[in-house]
Amino acid sequence: MYTEKVMDHFTNPRNVGEIENADGIGQVGNPSCGDIMKITLKVEDNIIKDIKFKTFGCGAAVATSSMVTEMAMGKTIDEALTITNKAVAEALEGLPPAKMHCSNLAADALKVAIEDYLKKQNV
Ligand code: FES
């Protein structure tokens, strides 16, 4: 039911944790299941230098969070803002239809973290 990529990111998630003194913090909850995800960012010269996530959620939420951190790492703020739920799911070679909503959590948490960073910069 899950692709190998999903299983890989679920069993061996990348960038787990929380950055201290983060430049941007995004936390979102999924109202349909109650799962929660938090993303913290370090930004230098408009580039995401470090990104970590913590997820209290299902396997698909862990896999999408892990993938979104890999996709955002090293990107400019503008590039990272273009990462969509769909792109994350595609990078994982697909999610079962019933699990598509889980990918919203990852891209949304990234967006909230970036918005938080921009707010702190007074942009
Ligand atoms: Fe809640 Fe997947 S079931 S994020």
Q: What is the pLDDT of residues 5-27, one digit of tens each?
A: 999 999 999 999 999 999 999 99
58 has catalytic annotation: no
pTM: 0.93
Could you tell which of 65, 101, 103, 104 is best to mutate to test the pocket of ligand 1, judged by most ligand atoms within 8 Å of the CB?
A: 101
* Domain enclosing residue 21, as ranges: 4-120
Number of domains the chain is built from: 1
Secondary structure string (H, E, C) spanning 2-43: CCHHHHHHHHCCCCECCCCCCCEEEEEECCCCCCEEEEEEEE
Q: Write the CATH number for 111.
A: 3.90.1010.10
Q: What is the pLDDT of residues 30-74, one digit of tens each?
A: 888 899 999 999 999 999 999 999 999 899 999 999 999 999 999
Confidence of residue 102 (pLDDT cuts 50, 70, 90): confident
Quick check: 57 and 102 in contact, CB under 8 A? yes
